[in-house]
Chain A
Amino acid sequence: MPAPIGTKLVTARFGNEEAKQLSAYERLGGYQVLRKALAMRPEDITNEVKASNLRGRGGAGFATGVKWGFVPKDAKDVHIVVNADESEPGTCKDRELMYWDPHLLIEGIVIAAHALKAVHNYIYIRGEMMREVVVLQKAVEEAYQRGYLGKNILGTGLECHITVHRGAGAYICGEETALLNSLEGLRGQPRLKPPFPAIKGLFGNPTIVNNVETLMNVPFIIEKGGAWFNSLGMGRSGGTRIVCVSGHVNKPGVYELPIGISFRQLIDEVCGGVWKNRKVKAVIPGGSSMPPLDESELDVPVEFDALMTDERIKPVEVVPGQVFDMGGGRVLRTMAGSGGVVVMDDHTDIPKATWRIMKFYAHESCGQCTPCREGTGWLEKVCRRVADGQGKEGDLELLGTIAHGIAGNTICALGEAAAWPMMGFLTKFRADFEAKIVKGRAA
């Protein structure tokens, strides 16, 4: 059975200003799980994480334990790099997690470091998160002073270091290999894969890049067991999930919820319904790079696999009648992504909202791959003229084919991040775009 609404793990200390201090964190039971973990064999920790069905909370939803398992057995100089570069529009959880509970993150990192035999570890935090940089740096200092970090953790002889590494403004650095390049002192441009970071990552060493929320779940898994954690979720997705609800609801917020609640429940029961007594028009289910849902698709659960495969969600099309092929005949519905749920009411100007999303990706394309560098710029330009009522006949087909030309043809997923929502909004809300073109021509 999924956990009841109200079960809180990683957000339990939200709102408690004291909890970010080490003394208060310890009083609340903090770092006790670390003691337990340090007495465990590294492979037993990884096995618990595998059994927990914890899936990456950054966007891709990859099984964390499986990812850890990719590090070669005899590997030396392994690194854990925490991806704290949260910048996917609609996503606002990692910033809050770091602000309210920095020591839980540190405890999660040290446990993971023991499992992976990682000594030099880094938290790559977004440059704009200045308040959170201050909080994290203080917490890391405290952890060193009390022996939770350093050359001889709690007298066990284990060595573990954490360095807070501040970025300087670039969405692309949330892509794990761009993040590694940025951390190495380069421009933040993604690397070709393979090799994957688990084999050859930071400084050429095996590296596990995990999201903030992902690592903060690890202490709970070690405390209560992987099977227990798995039982909180549904299907192949264990635990709770933070969803960040923004846009046109009465109570936007950062909510930790059982995996498996439907979008309709989320909007009506958790967020107090749509504002101004309006109806839902569109919902972005997991950050702005994910294709939207329309009102008829809201009974689908907020869960990784359901959003990819549930047949109640209409497949994304390139142009009407031509379903977008993800490769191997797989269709694209949508994905749970980063947990950023953006609700739009029935008064929303959908072409304008889509334009704003395209403007973002055009701004953030790193410029490395031609289809993305040029394509995102064209998506923005054409989408803007449609939104402004200046669209030309054929513009919607043009937008679909530009998007199609980007997807699958770039080094990293930023190309898809722009192409998918473009095709998705056109698929679900084509009439809204067509209406703009007719108006433009009539004027």
Chain B
Amino acid sequence: MSLEFSSEAKKKIAGLCERYPTKRPVILAALHLAQKEHGHLSDDALKLVARELDLPYAHVYGVATFYTMFRREPGGKTTIRVCTNISCMLRGGYDVLDAFEKKLGLKKGESNKDFTLVEEECIAACANAPAVLCGTKYYLDVDAAQVDEIIRELLRIPHPESEVV
């Protein structure tokens, strides 16, 4: 099925194209927008980006599969990124990840309709470890005992990453 961008997204892409000498540098922004509007980067979504920027499909595929924030499969409304890298690990990051896995019934990398759970590499919040990132929202100095409350809050107010493009 052929996909389309909204007129708003098309306008945004056109505006960005003016900031660079060619259209190719706009690929990351266009992929972020495609993921926002179509939920994930299916083959059709990649074709849409290729068409919009006059790029070969293979190039778009290559770029989309290089970066970890692009997903080829559907995900939940909120992506929960739990840092377990060294600074967070030293202060209980793995306990926090375990708590999310248990409470959500998801393994890292898995999704349900509300959440995608990700074991994240360092999110630059080391002085407030362990840290969890959900869209524009940071949870800092997290204790495994707070995980229930965080999940309840995110069910009430999701923080989709797609809000920012």
Contact = CB atoms under 8 A, between A and B. Distances in A.
Interface in B108-154: 120-129, 133, 135-138
B21 A248 contact: no
B124 A247 contact: no
Contact of B25 (A131, A184, A246, A363): A184
Contacts of B28: 127, 165-168, 182, 185
A87 B66 contact: no
B26 A185 contact: yes
Interface in A220-279: 244-248, 252-254
Interface stretch (B2-10, B87-95, B99-107): B87-95
A92 B125 contact: yes
Given A89-B86, A128-B69, A344-B90, A168 B32 contact: yes
B69 A168 contact: yes
Nearest to A162: B19
Interface string A1-23: 00000000000000000000000
Contacts, number: 148
B157 interface: no
B134 to A, nearest CB: 9
A167 B161 CA distance: 13
| Chain B, interface residues (CB within 8 Å), range | 35 or more
Contacts of A253: 127
Contacts of B126: 89-92, 244, 246, 252, 340, 342
A353 interface: yes
Given A95-B124, A247-B90, A170 B63 contact: no
Contact of A185 (B63, B135, B137): B63
A356 B87 CA distance: 10
A373 B127 CA distance: 30
Q: Top 5 A-B pairs ranked by shortest CB distance? A: A185-B24, A168-B67, A169-B68, A246-B87, A246-B126
Interface of A: 86-92, 94-95, 120, 126-131, 133-134, 161, 163, 165-171, 182-188, 203, 244-248, 252-254, 284, 288, 340, 342, 344, 348, 353, 356-357, 360, 363-364, 366
19 contacts: A89-B121, A92-B125, A95-B124, A127-B67, A131-B136, A131-B137, A165-B25, A167-B67, A168-B69, A169-B68, A184-B25, A185-B22, A185-B27, A187-B62, A284-B86, A353-B90, A360-B85, A360-B121, A364-B121
Given A128-B81, A186-B24, 17 more contacts: A86-B124, A87-B121, A87-B122, A95-B125, A131-B136, A163-B16, A163-B20, A169-B69, A170-B67, A188-B67, A203-B21, A288-B86, A340-B87, A353-B89, A356-B86, A363-B121, A364-B121
